Structure 1
């Protein structure tokens, strides 16, 4: 059977992770589930012939003796409670973003984990596991182009139903904040947010697009265009200007067609399809590391840094100023 897993939250991503573990990955099995909607969850289990036990309480699932490790894929505001309970139980936990909905909540998790004395938490920033990003990082780490100087990035989605207020930053750009820090192995020191002309094709309460400017400790300038109602597709770009050359994030492969007087190539429109292989790699690597008592992926400290960065960007959006990003020195525990 391998690692015995409990999944808290059987919504869209919880279902996908459960089926991924049961149908595609190895050395793990989902033995327990919890969700606020028992009827919905049991129908899902029956539909896919899964034998996981249903628990009325996420905390009860975490404490179950026959559950080795936890996946938290529930509603964001519940994450902090379940991650803290997993640490208290001494169990490894994979938590989809956000680690917590506030920076103070993320810091509480960091402090609890350090008090426990062992890393147990991994955060679901899947872009680090994407083949294209790993290829780009390999080039940057080799220093064959010299030091990075400027990053020009784009995060475009066809539409963002339900997005309002600052969600384009706090719910979407968090993936950029994590993966770019990882690419550069550098921390952010300041943020500025510029608001271009607003698209007519989104809810009145949402500013879209945004342009986010980040500066790092080593002086790298990062420009991120966030456009969550771009209509045409899901398009993630990263172009790095270095001292002696440039490097660009590879495009997802697709068949190029010459037909009817046109040269065409499809654009992915679903973010889950864009990163489907990254999700597979992410969870398999988490299972493998957890099985031997390690955390190899994004840590609770990484989740905390992203929350601090997002807060600074939201502040910069509303103030119109360049806001500092005050990230404490990384504890030895997380080095």
Structure 2
């Protein structure tokens, strides 16, 4: 079976997903493309899928009989509406994070998917498909270090764009770490707090970059996450979990060491597409396979909701300077037996 995919959003990551489908994935084909600037979609189609339909509006793509499943990589504020329309059309949908820009928006998706009585949504959290993170999860599952007491993480980007806001450090960057620890530890969060260190001179003062976020899980595990989106030196993620009997640490990506002119150096990735290239391949392949078999296995709408609800609390903490409670609804029965990667 070949799954016919429609892609909404053909910007940087969206175009990379189209390339991935055309050149790497098995069992899938690019059937349709939409982008707000139609010429961008046309350019991507000419490069990777000359036979694909380029639509004038996203609804045309969603409703097209030539599209069986949808990949959303458009601007975050469009996600909720597009996912709801895909669910209404009865089509599987892969949505890049965030699932919606607020917990309320995610709740509406939860209700719509539950009403459809069929799991249709996979959220684009790629770290569970990364070999290093999978190794961490396996060791935790096998109780390698005993109960986890605390954890430390860092999420660094070399530069942020001109329209990047203080809130986006949470909603676009930290949200990956929120999902990562939700998945690794198998529990949600009860409180959050945001601290502002001395700001970098490499970013606008209003951005307040970097930030240090303290997450407290429901069992009392304390997690510190450094978010630094103008670190200059590269794209860097770190993760360490400290248990009663030892420590687990995320390995660095495999890179050859260059020994030259009296120095040893190892290249650092410059963006997430480079750092997590294989993980992106695996998550999209898992989505295609799930559509083909009628059973999605990747991060679900509940994972997307927990991440957005926790991010909402972090944004409140940015503004209040205080510890803020994470407010979650009871997990709907529909999602309780779901199994993420």
Shorter-chain TM-score bucket reads over 0.9
Confirm or deny: 8 A CA contact 2:18 2:48 kept in the other structure: no
Q: Determine the structure 2 residue equivalent to 1:322.
A: 323
Separation in 2, partners of 1:145, 1:209:
30
- Asked if 1:32 is matched to 2:32, the reply is yes
Q: Determine the structure 1 residue equivalent to 2:199.
A: 198
Q: 1:276-315 maps to which residues of 2 (within 5 A)?
A: 276-315=277-316
Once the two structures are TM-superposed, the CA of residue 243 in structure 1 deviates from its matched residue by: 0.8
Task: Could you tell me which runs of 5 or more consecutive residues in structure 2 were left unpaired when the two chains were aligned.
Answer: 337-341
Separation in 1, partners of 2:205, 2:199:
10
Query: 1:205 aligns to what SS in structure 2?
Result: helix
Confirm or deny: 8 A CA contact 1:164 1:203 kept in the other structure: no
Separation in 2, partners of 1:291, 1:42:
27
Separation in 1, partners of 2:14, 2:290:
20
For normalisation by structure 2, the TM-score amounts to 0.95
Confirm or deny: 8 A CA contact 1:34 1:56 kept in the other structure: yes
Query: 1:296 aligns to what SS in structure 2?
Result: coil
Separation in 2, partners of 1:132, 1:198:
31
Once the two structures are TM-superposed, the CA of residue 205 in structure 1 deviates from its matched residue by: 1.7
Moved over 3 A (4+): none
Once the two structures are TM-superposed, the CA of residue 49 in structure 1 deviates from its matched residue by: 5.1
Separation in 2, partners of 1:249, 1:49:
37
Q: Work out the number of aligned pairs and report it.
A: 335
Q: For 1:16-64, what per-residue CA distance to the aligned partner results, in whole angstroms no more than 9, with x for missing partners?
A: 1111001111001011111222223223222335210112121121111
Comparing 163-172 with 181-190, which one deviates more in the overlay?
163-172
Q: Determine the structure 2 residue equivalent to 1:236.
A: 237
Separation in 2, partners of 1:137, 1:106:
26
Separation in 2, partners of 1:220, 1:86:
37
Separation in 1, partners of 2:88, 2:255:
46
Q: Determine the structure 2 residue equivalent to 1:85.
A: 85
Once the two structures are TM-superposed, the CA of residue 144 in structure 1 deviates from its matched residue by: 2.1
Q: 1:124-135 maps to which residues of 2 (within 5 A)?
A: 124-135=124-135
Task: Could you tell me which runs of 5 or more consecutive residues in structure 1 were left unpaired when the two chains were aligned.
Answer: none
Q: Determine the structure 1 residue equivalent to 2:339.
A: none
- Asked if 1:260 is matched to 2:261, the reply is yes
Query: 1:173 aligns to what SS in structure 2?
Result: helix
Separation in 2, partners of 1:263, 1:48:
39
Q: 1:1-335 maps to which residues of 2 (within 5 A)?
A: 2-48=2-48, 50-162=50-162, 163-335=164-336
Confirm or deny: 8 A CA contact 1:286 1:295 kept in the other structure: yes
